[in-house]
Amino acid sequence: MDDAAPLAPASDDQIRDEVAGWLKANWDPSVLTSAQAGRGEAYRAWIAKVVEARWAAPRWPVEWFGRGLSNEQARIVEREFARVGAPGTGQDRTQLYANTLLAKGTEALKAKLIGPILRGEIVMCLLYSEPGAGSDLAGVRTRAELDGDHYVVNGQKVWTSTAATADYGMLIARTNWDVPKHQGLSFFFLPMKQPGVEVRPLRQITDESHFNEVFLTDAIVPAENLLGELGQGWSVLQTALAYERSVMGEGARGPRSGVAEAAGEEPLIALAREAGVLADPMLRQDIARVIAYKKLNALNTARAKADLAQGTSSPVMSLGKLAMSRILHEEARLRTAILGAASLLEGPDHPRAEDANFLTLNAYFTSIGGGTDQIQRNIIGERVLGLPKEPEVDRDVPFREVRGG
């Protein structure tokens, strides 16, 4: 990034005053109420402005769009943005692609893509899972072979969210078949809009088509789009997965009916009040339990984020993701219990039932995507609790000799 003069150190009060003053001068809430909120010109222009003013990723270094703020100071910035309802900051916590690129990308790739990613100008996707490699990602069989100044990629990916519109995919591919499976992998930013990439949508149980099959046939990826060292893709992947799990541990999609729930109140309490069952002692107990889980999970996620800020890919992230999956299933079950028989209804005339049903089905997103609940339990068992490792017969065998479909 140009114009990277160091910023003078500032106290917490100075930062609060500066960000509050900047928001007062620049934030226009109509950005969010415009017809195409989230996708429209006004929204994109706002995000670009936040990036330019270095509020998008204030924890990052000055030369990369940041301000080099501590976590506590960046939280001040986030609180000020939240106070006026302005989006765009906190990308140094939540922007999985830009964070991975900043941590592991070449200078050339960072200079080319970090800005557009932060500004939301390019769409990204994750090219990890394959028909024969999901939980066991180290078993991927998509191959990338060096040919001059680029790699040629062949294979198939699946469950690839947003692939249909993506400009780049974070790709894990095998570059060496003569070493054990974790050692022969490399990590790339693959350009998606090219003849060698074919995307076919898949239908989900929510009746949406967010994810896809991706067929790679002689697809080209420039050598400078390699992240980390050749053959060190497993370690880059761990960094990227830790970011993904931390985002999933913090939250998930809410109801999709668009019919507003009572503002400022815990949604389950508001729903129970609306349905006239708030006095039911069993429901009250269940609601209290979900709220307690949420509070605990928020504290745990903050702890895991602090680890990540120190540069370690914390296995505690797995605890947050697993907890969020449990919260979402529990919350959806409770919405159904609160509505009773009315939860069987569907369609726009019954938005609360529509939401309960959607959230019941969509809860599986968090318990499968980004690594299943069972895999998170394995990670917690082995890396947090120190239990013996699962036996892995193919761990030390050259991948070429590993049996697979």
Ligand X SMILES: Cc1cc2nc3c(=O)[nH]c(=O)nc-3n(C[C@H](O)[C@H](O)[C@H](O)COP(=O)(O)OP(=O)(O)OC[C@H]3O[C@@H](n4cnc5c(N)ncnc54)[C@H](O)[C@@H]3O)c2cc1C
Q: Which residues bind to ligand X, rule: CB under 6 A?
A: 125-126, 128-129, 134-135, 159-161, 211, 365, 368-372, 374-375, 378, 390
The pair of three-digit structure tokens given for residue 170, joined into one six-digit string:
């974070």
Residue 35 CA, distance from chain mean position: 26
- Which CB atom, from 94 or from 372, has the smaller least distance to ligand X? 372
Cβ-proximal residues to 320 (8 Å cutoff; 6+ apart), any chain: 245, 246, 248, 249, 250, 297, 300, 301, 304
Long-range contacts of 30-33 (CB under 8 A, 24+ apart): 32/85, 32/87
Look up residue 279 and give its DSSP letter. Answer: T
- Total residue count of the chain as it appears in this document: 405
Which residue among the candidates 80, 130, 244, 331 is catalytic per the annotation?
Answer: 244
The distance in angstroms from the start CA to the end CA of the chain is 45
CA dihedral (296, 302, 304, 305) in degrees, to 10, reads 160
Contact between 323 and 300 under an 8 Å Cβ cutoff? The reply is yes
Q: How far is the CB of 135 from ligand X (least distance, A)?
A: 3
Q: How far is the CB of 367 from ligand X (least distance, A)?
A: 8
Q: How far is the CB of 159 from ligand X (least distance, A)?
A: 3
CB burial string 91-118: b at 16+ within 10 A, e below: bbbebbbbbbbbbbbbeebbeebbbebb
Q: How far is the CB of 294 from ligand X (least distance, A)?
A: 21
Contact between 257 and 209 under an 8 Å Cβ cutoff? The reply is no
The CB-nearest residue to ligand X is: 134
By three-state DSSP, how is residue 130 classified? strand
Cβ-proximal residues to 134 (8 Å cutoff; 6+ apart), any chain: 159
Q: How far is the CB of 372 from ligand X (least distance, A)?
A: 3
- The H-assigned helical ranges of 233-380 are 233-250, 267-275, 281-309, 316-339, 351-368, 373-379
Contact between 320 and 297 under an 8 Å Cβ cutoff? The reply is yes
Q: Whose CA is closest to 198, among 153, 232, 240?
A: 153
Q: How far is the CB of 165 from ligand X (least distance, A)?
A: 13
Please indicate whether residue 80 is annotated as part of the active site. no
- Which CB atom, from 135 or from 165, has the smaller least distance to ligand X? 135
Cβ-proximal residues to 34 (8 Å cutoff; 6+ apart), any chain: 40, 42, 43
Q: How far is the CB of 127 from ligand X (least distance, A)?
A: 6
Q: Do strands 124-127 and 168-174 pair parallel, antiparallel, or not at all (unpaired)?
A: parallel
- The catalytic residues are 244
